[in-house]
């Protein structure tokens, strides 16, 4: 089968990490597809951000319905009545973890990619800011890559540009790709659903701000 090595599919949430991956992919590939998921996330705004960013860059964007994920594994990112953990627990995963989310998302993205004759799949998972999510680890990605290849008799390449870099370096990457302002103003990472710099108090905002401050002080010094 002909394979299109000049195109890639980005797993795209409209957050900082996946938008940085989108910018990265736009530099590297002639054609970029973005796939987002509607899984009943508390903040539908996330999908609006994803749409706006794709529109800005004229990226072909697909939103897949994954509401069954919320049916199976309700958690603090999908349910109004569960409060997001302020800090990571000493043991286990934080309650913002959606069981199996990356595996499910990447599997559906792989099916989508094969339909487009694309092998390269880009995801913004990172082991550096490891927040206790087991399916963000490199070993999981490699394992799933092998499994997907066997499942579909195809040579997928799951690419993780952010795997070994932290938030400070992610800001730097976006800046070097010319996307600093897009990331700063158009992405949503805040668990309380506030675009850009966010609420400033949730774990996601704190991590984002810490990286931003560190990067800006280095850039400006
Ligand atoms: Zn926040």
> What is the value of pTM for the model shown?
0.89
Question: In sequence order, what DSSP letters do the residues of 102-169 get, joined into one string?
Answer: HHHHHHHHHHHHHHTTEEEEE----STT--S-GGGSHHHHHHHHHHHHHHHTS--EEE-TTTT--HHH
Centre of ligand 1 to C-alpha 4, Å, is 39
| pLDDT (0 to 100) of residue 122 | 98
Q: Do 184 and 147 meet the contact criterion of CB atoms below 8 Å apart? A: no
Centre of ligand 1 to C-alpha 68, Å, is 26
Q: What is the rounded average pLDDT of the residues 146-150?
A: 98
Centre of ligand 1 to C-alpha 105, Å, is 24
Centre of ligand 1 to C-alpha 14, Å, is 15
Sign of CA dihedral 44, 167, 136, 77: negative
- For the record, the structure tokens of 72 come out as 């199976």
Centre of ligand 1 to C-alpha 40, Å, is 19
Q: CA–CA separation, 124 vs 189, rounded Å?
A: 13
Strand partners, 61: 34
Report CA-CA distances (Å) from 114 to 85, 99, 107, 151: 37, 25, 11, 12
| pLDDT (0 to 100) of residue 133 | 80
Model confidence at 2, pLDDT cuts 50, 70, 90, reads: low
Centre of ligand 1 to C-alpha 211, Å, is 14
Of 3-7, 147-151, 187-191, the least confident: 3-7
Q: For the segment 104-124, what is each residue's pLDDT rounded down to a tens digit?
A: 999 999 999 999 999 999 999
Q: Tokens 């993780």 sit at which residue?
A: 160
Identify the H or E element spanning 52.
helix 45-56
Sign of CA dihedral 216, 133, 114, 156: positive
Residue 74 DSSP code: -
Q: What is the rounded average pLDDT of the residues 157-185?
A: 97
Tell me the pLDDT of the chain averaged across its residues: 88
Q: What share of the chain is helix, strand, coil (3-state, %, to 5)?
A: 45, 15, 40
Centre of ligand 1 to C-alpha 207, Å, is 10
Model confidence at 175, pLDDT cuts 50, 70, 90, reads: very high
What is the CA 133 to chain-centroid distance, rounded? Answer: 13
Centre of ligand 1 to C-alpha 192, Å, is 5
| pLDDT (0 to 100) of residue 77 | 52
Packing angle of the helix pair 138-152, 101-115 (nearest 10 deg): 40
Strand partners, 64: 37
Q: CA–CA separation, 203 vs 206, rounded Å?
A: 5
């Amino acid at each position: 089968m002909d394979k299109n090595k000049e195109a890639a599919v980005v797993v795209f949430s409209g957050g900082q990490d996946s938008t940085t991956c989108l910018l990265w992919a736009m530099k590297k590939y002639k054609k970029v597809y973005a796939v987002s998921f509607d899984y009943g996330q508390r903040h539908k705004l996330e999908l609006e951000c994803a749409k706006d960013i794709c529109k800005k860059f004229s990226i072909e964007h697909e939103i897949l319905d994954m509401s069954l994920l919320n049916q199976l594994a309700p958690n603090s990112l999908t349910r109004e009545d569960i409060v997001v953990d302020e800090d990571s627990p000493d043991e286990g995963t934080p309650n913002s973890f959606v069981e199996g989310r990356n595996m499910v998302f990447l599997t559906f993205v792989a099916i989508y990619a094969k339909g487009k004759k694309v092998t390269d799949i880009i995801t913004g998972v990172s082991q550096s800011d490891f927040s206790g999510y087991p399916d963000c680890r490199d070993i999981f990605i490699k394992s799933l890559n092998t499994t997907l290849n066997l499942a579909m008799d195809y040579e997928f390449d799951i690419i993780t540009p952010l795997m070994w870099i932290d938030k400070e370096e992610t800001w730097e990457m976006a800046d070097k790709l010319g996307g600093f302002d897009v990331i700063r103003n158009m992405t949503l990472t805040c668990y309380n659903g506030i675009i850009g710099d966010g609420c400033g108090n949730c774990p996601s905002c704190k991590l984002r701000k810490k990286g931003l401050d560190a990067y800006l002080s280095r850039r400006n010094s």
